[in-house]
A and B are shown apart, each in its own frame.
Chain A
Amino acid sequence: MNTATVTKPAETGAPVVRRRARSRRHMLGRIGLYALAILITLFMLLPIYLIAVSAFSPQAKIYTFPKALIPHRSDLSTATFSFFIHSTGVPQSVRNSIVVGLGTLLLSTLIGAPAGLALARFFFRGRGAFQLFILSTRAFPGVILAIPLVVTFIRWNLYDKLLGVILVHTAFTLPTTILVMSSIFVSIPRDLEEAALTLGCTPFAAFWRIMLPLSLPGMAAVAIFTFVASWNEVFAATILTVKNRTLPAQVLASLNSSQLPYKFAGGFALVIPSLVFIFFMRRYLFNMWGRVVR
């Protein structure tokens, strides 16, 4: 009895110490992880923050440096931004960018989803070669295509048309769309589709009721990617348009001749829609996966 009570603390003592040591190591690991996360976040956020602060500074205060971490109320003004927004060509180019982005998203999904499904679910002759071919188009430098593309588009009456830009952007985003779509479809177990077939579905109904709803979150992610890629694309938009410019092309064209406030506001306008789009879609994504997760 007595010896038992004496040995008891000694017995439990060792594991407690070990557990403490383990938890301390665990703590340090977590601190390191968070420090790294904060560092990466700052790396991404700092430029965005500086651009945002400058875009909303009164024109006179744009040149002051360093900036206050939290700007004073008197330092905030929408004058710079509204100056940019009302500059010649800007409202139109914002509208153009939206049209091109949505058009690209639509076309890219309409072509990419069936192609991805074909790669994921059907075994056809030349499947491997097709997959490689899709990837190889990504490796081809677009700059080389610039002149032939402009010539062809002039000939086809697509030059300086939004449809032309949509087509080129679709061509740019399609490889990624197809490959990501195919991996989304591959990740949906075949059994689910087959179960639907045995329960009375035609192959199309099985796709519509099972594959499609389950691939929706992934498709949304691809859609975000496509839209943002189109929104940020400068090269093709610049060489293929003269009057009907998208926003990046418009900002780029007037960059050299414009003042600093215009540049800051322009940069902010380019970044913000992507951020907002990603932010909302991301929440939607998490909601979907939270429910759908196996």
Chain B
Amino acid sequence: MAEINIQTVRKTFIGSKQPAVNDIDLTVANSEFMVLLGPSGCGKTTLLRMIAGLEYPDSGSILIGGRDVTDLPPRSRGIAMVFQSYAVFPHMTVYDNIAFGLRMHHASKSEISRKVERAADLLQLTPYLKRFSAQLSGGQRQRVAVARAIVMEPSVLLMDEPLSNLDALLRLNFRSELKKLVQEIKTTTIYVTHDQVEALSLGDRIAVMRDGEIVQCGTPMEIYSNPATEFIGGFIGNPPMNFLHGLLQRQNGRARVTVGDHVLEAPTTLAAHDGATVIVGIRAENIQAALQSVPDALAARAEVIEPVGSHMLITAVVGDQRVKVLTRADFPVETNGSLWLQPEWDKLRWFDPETHREIAAK
């Protein structure tokens, strides 16, 4: 249990021009579950490996519990890591795998067996203690990898895409189990993933990374409903956030955005951008769809209708732009039928098409 301070850490791999991690600052509070989320190649794994001590940063420093560990080898950092490939030692039994770290730290025999049994119990591995890795399923191997890490009672638990090699159902089950487990042991955790659903469901906070930088760091709901950039809005959420291009005009001190033939009311703070093109972001579930004409709504045509069980996903065409809308499952719309879309005004987000960043709204 410890706070992690990452101070302007940079790492450029040999032969690469772009830094993999570009002067990142990040503080993870004691007992916090921090998710590093981003597409592949964004530097999230590199950052995790630097915290583990498996990569050495070019500059900057890393503090764990106030202690500068930048120059320490992995074994002296008080960390434990779960690898994407599980990395269960194939020539040892499950028991020996879990006990490995304790033996390396010269724990007594009775202590080892007590702790191993407890960890095995926690991860439902007790019946498999005498088996070898080759005799386990993928899910069981992943449990061994997690048991092997938590048995060390590390001050920091690092996880590198631990669920990505599991099949969908197993992933769903193990995800909630993992969340419960980490809440119980209260270890500071950094979890790397490219799966936004995992990030939203597991993290206390999410740091969204792109091109070696942290683009936004906040609670899952903050990031979901207030994405700092167009990229995050599009990356997080399924379906991704809708983006509509419109022209902003100032009228009587109020800002109006023309999307196709329609006019949306924008916050007055945007009035300064008179004459500029802006991007309006809105989530699919924040659009009310109606079959009859509604004042102030965008007229649209339902191009594709996809029932997804709990909801109906409609791809609607507004002017020449496409919008995804989520409605009730029994919404009686027909393909190519007319629709009126009414965005929830307080859920509209405004982005600059040049920088792709959010324009200061409220």
Q: Which residues of A contact B (CB under 8 A)?
A: 123, 189, 191-192, 194-202, 205, 210, 213-214, 291-294
A201 to B89, CA, bound (A): 14
Closest to A194 in B: B54
B54 near A294 with CB under 8 A, answer: no
17 more A-B residue pairs beyond the given contacts A192-B87, A198-B158, A199-B100, with a C-beta to C-beta distance below 8 A:
A189-B85, A191-B84, A192-B89, A194-B87, A195-B81, A195-B89, A196-B89, A197-B73, A198-B54, A198-B80, A199-B152, A200-B105, A202-B73, A202-B75, A214-B90, A292-B134, A293-B134
B133 near A294 with CB under 8 A, answer: yes
A205 near B87 with CB under 8 A, answer: no
A189 near B87 with CB under 8 A, answer: yes
B132 near A195 with CB under 8 A, answer: no
B90 near A199 with CB under 8 A, answer: no
Q: A291-B132, A292-B90, A294-B134 are in contact. Are A196 and B100 (CB under 8 A)?
A: yes
A198 to B54, CA, bound (A): 8
A192 to B88, CA, bound (A): 7
Closest to B91 in A: A213
Q: A191-B85, A199-B80 are in contact. Are A294 and B90 (CB under 8 A)?
A: yes
How many residues does chain B have at the interface if contact means C-beta atoms less than 8 Å apart?
27
What A residues does B54 contact at CB under 8 A? 194, 197-198
A43 to B: closest C-beta gap in Å: 35
A293 to B133, CA, bound (A): 9
Closest to B90 in A: A292
B348 to A: closest C-beta gap in Å: 45
A198 near B75 with CB under 8 A, answer: yes
What B residues does A293 contact at CB under 8 A? 90, 134
A191 near B87 with CB under 8 A, answer: yes
24 interchain pairs, CB-CB under 8 A:
A189-B85, A191-B84, A192-B89, A194-B54, A194-B81, A194-B87, A196-B89, A198-B52, A198-B54, A198-B75, A198-B79, A198-B80, A199-B75, A199-B80, A199-B100, A200-B75, A200-B101, A200-B104, A200-B152, A202-B75, A210-B89, A214-B91, A293-B90, A294-B90
Q: A199-B100, A200-B104, A202-B75 are in contact. Are A291 and B83 (CB under 8 A)?
A: no
What B residues does A294 contact at CB under 8 A? 90, 133-134
A198 near B134 with CB under 8 A, answer: no
A59 to B75, CA, bound (A): 70
A201 to B73, CA, bound (A): 10
Residue in A123, A201, A214 whose CB lies within 8 Å of B104? A201
B91 near A291 with CB under 8 A, answer: yes
A197 to B83, CA, bound (A): 12
A201 to B75, CA, bound (A): 6
The answer to whether the Cβ of B148 comes within 8 Å of any Cβ in the partner chain is: yes
Q: Which of B52, B79, B89 has the most CB of A within 10 A?
A: B89
A220 to B186, CA, bound (A): 46
A291 to B92, CA, bound (A): 10
The answer to whether the Cβ of B65 comes within 8 Å of any Cβ in the partner chain is: no
Residue in B81, B85, B90, B105 whose CB lies within 8 Å of A198? B81
The answer to whether the Cβ of B74 comes within 8 Å of any Cβ in the partner chain is: yes
A205 near B91 with CB under 8 A, answer: no
Provide the B93-133 mask, 1 if CB < 8 A to any CB of A, else 0: 00000001100110000000000000000000000000011
B91 near A292 with CB under 8 A, answer: yes
A199 near B101 with CB under 8 A, answer: yes
B75 near A197 with CB under 8 A, answer: yes
What A residues does B74 contact at CB under 8 A? 194, 197-198
Task: Report the 7 A-B pairs with minimum CB-CB distance, sorted nearest first.
Answer: A200-B104, A199-B101, A191-B87, A195-B87, A198-B81, A197-B74, A198-B74
Closest to B49 in A: A194
A184 to B75, CA, bound (A): 26
What A residues does B100 contact at CB under 8 A? 196, 199
Q: Which of B39-97 contact A (CB under 8 A)?
A: 52-54, 73-75, 79-81, 83-85, 87, 89-91
What B residues does A214 contact at CB under 8 A? 90-91
B176 to A: closest C-beta gap in Å: 25
Closest to B103 in A: A200
Closest to A200 in B: B104
A214 to B88, CA, bound (A): 12
A291 near B87 with CB under 8 A, answer: no
B141 to A: closest C-beta gap in Å: 10
B104 to A: closest C-beta gap in Å: 3
What A residues does B87 contact at CB under 8 A? 189, 191-192, 194-195
What A residues does B81 contact at CB under 8 A? 194-195, 198
Closest to A216 in B: B91
What B residues does A200 contact at CB under 8 A? 75, 101, 104-105, 152
Q: Which of A198, A210, A292 has the most CB of B within 10 A?
A: A198
A140 to B108, CA, bound (A): 57
What A residues does B84 contact at CB under 8 A? 191
B49 to A: closest C-beta gap in Å: 8
What A residues does B14 contact at CB under 8 A? 123
A194 to B89, CA, bound (A): 11
What A residues does B101 contact at CB under 8 A? 199-200
Q: Which of B4-23 contact A (CB under 8 A)?
A: 14
B91 near A191 with CB under 8 A, answer: no
B146 to A: closest C-beta gap in Å: 12
A123 to B133, CA, bound (A): 30
A112 to B75, CA, bound (A): 29
Closest to B134 in A: A293
What A residues does B53 contact at CB under 8 A? 197-198
B134 near A291 with CB under 8 A, answer: yes
A270 to B125, CA, bound (A): 53
What A residues does B105 contact at CB under 8 A? 200
What B residues does A210 contact at CB under 8 A? 89
B131 to A: closest C-beta gap in Å: 11
Closest to B135 in A: A291
A202 to B75, CA, bound (A): 7
